[in-house]
Amino acid sequence: MDILTALASAAFGSTVYLTALSTVDWLNRMGPKVKVIGLVATGVVLCAVVGLIAVAGKGVVVGFIVGAVLTPPVHRILQRRGRVTNS
């Protein structure tokens, strides 16, 4: 397993998580029909990305999972720090 491949995949997993989170937040402000269609399209894209990652090598899969698992808690911590400093 190449460490650079795993690190790049972790960054990609993090990016996919943050992009999906932003997309869902944006869709929540839309009308019901647009929201449902957008959520279905987002789900299809995420399934395609995960399918492509699964076809890739072991290092890519491990890195992607690490990036996607570590991003949510780090994102929450950074959001809390931003609220504290803005107060």
CB contact at 8 A, 9 and 59: yes
Per residue in 2-44, pLDDT (tens digit) is: 777 777 888 888 888 888 889 999 999 999 999 999 999 998 9
Rounded CA-CA distance 82/7 in Å is 26
Whether 87 has a pLDDT exceeding 60, the answer reads no
Burial bucket for residue 49 (CB in 10 Å: 0-12, 13-18, 19+): middle
Instruction: Write down the domain spans for the chain.
Output: 3-86
pLDDT score for 76: 82
Whether 85 has a pLDDT exceeding 70, the answer reads no
CB contact at 8 A, 10 and 67: yes
Three-state DSSP at 23 gives helix
pLDDT score for 37: 92
pLDDT score for 57: 72
pLDDT score for 84: 65
Hunting for tokens 């949510």 — which residue is that?
A: 72
- Say how many CA atoms lie within 13 Å of 78 toward its Cβ: 7
